[in-house]
Amino acid sequence: MRYIIWLSAYLVVSWPAFTSAEMLFSDDFNQDAVDTDKWHLSFWEGGILGTTTFKESPLPEIKDGNIIITVESYNPEDGFSGDYFYGTDLKTVKLIPLTRGYVHIKVRAKMDSAIPGIVGGIFLFAFRPESMMLHDEIDFEFVTSKPDLIMTNSYSNEPLGAGHPQVAFYESGTITDYHVYEIKWETDKVSWFVDGNLIRVETKHVPAIPMEMHFNAWVPDSEWEQAYNPELHPAATADSNQIFGMIVDSIEIRTTPNLAPILYLLLEKR
């Protein structure tokens, strides 16, 4: 009984510290250039996603408090002009770990247009340490061929591929309007929200390892039939280059403590 009284008093005093969220990462993109202590490009040497190769440089432009994640129809890399689009995959320098109760990610973003055939991604990703063939991932994906929908996906110790996608309709607006996209990543489930509205809960395919946060823009091929646009082609010359992409206004990543051990102690000593 004396233990319960002591622990209860301790919790009353310490409760704000136990329950408060800790900021792991944030960026409002109000600086003149990308903060290289926070971000770098994910360059896949020799790698192709859909009909897209990815830039090794330069870093994305920041304009009016937004970072611009682009994919271009002209690819200046030797051997690629006229063959592949030139995309961007920006990722955090640091890994985002699931070390406490849950990780809460909030991103305000939109696509710059709904020209069919472009994909924009807001996602966590990491290969499993024991295998470069298996990975963990949590996605929001903008598919401009379906501007009224937002796609979510999740992988847990699985190969690259289709994964476990689901789509949800926007309650208002489309992918070209600003919305707030949130991921709540817990040890036993992942939840997705748009503008504060819950759109999906996943309990079967839940990542477990630390992951990097990515923003990307790319062009799929015909294997992704719903996203592919057969009329969208790479440009053979710089003069005919077209630029598409995603605009990100801000990101916050917080972690919230797990109170289960404290509650267990209380119940155990009853």
- Quote the CA–CA distance of 167 and 155 in Å, as a whole number: 16
Answer yes or no: is pLDDT of 12 > 90.
no
**pTM to 2 decimals?**
0.87
Tokens of 52: 């897209």
Q: Is 154 in contact with 207 (CB distance < 8 Å)?
A: yes
Decide: residue 233, CB within 10 A, 0-12 exposed, 13-18 middle, 19+ buried: middle
pLDDT per position as a tens digit, 38-96? 999 987 655 789 999 999 999 999 999 999 999 999 999 877 878 999 999 999 999 99
What pLDDT is attached to residue 261? Answer: 44
Decide: residue 116, CB within 10 A, 0-12 exposed, 13-18 middle, 19+ buried: middle
Rounded to an integer, the average pLDDT of 15-23 is 61
Answer yes or no: is pLDDT of 13 > 50.
no
- Amino acid sitting at position 140: F
User: Which H helix or E strand runs over 204?
Assistant: none
Cis peptide before 129 (omega within 30 of 0): no
Q: With b meaning 16 or more CB within 10 Å and e meaning fewer, what string describes 39-66? A: bebbeeeeebbbbbbbbeeebbebeeeb
What pLDDT is attached to residue 45? Answer: 56
What pLDDT is attached to residue 16? Answer: 47
pLDDT per position as a tens digit, 92-123? 999 999 876 899 999 999 999 999 999 999 99
Percent of the chain with pLDDT over 70: 86
Percent of the chain with pLDDT over 90: 76
- Quote the CA–CA distance of 156 and 254 in Å, as a whole number: 21
Rounded to an integer, the average pLDDT of 142-162 is 96
pLDDT per position as a tens digit, 196-250? 999 999 999 999 999 999 999 999 999 999 999 999 999 999 999 999 999 999 9
Phi first, then psi: what are they for 238, rounded to 5°? -65, -30
Strands 52-54 and 85-92 turn out to be: parallel
Higher-scoring residue by pLDDT: 32, 99: 32
Rounded to an integer, the average pLDDT of 151-159 is 96
Higher-scoring residue by pLDDT: 259, 72: 72
Q: DSSP class of residue 80? A: T
What pLDDT is attached to residue 46? Answer: 58
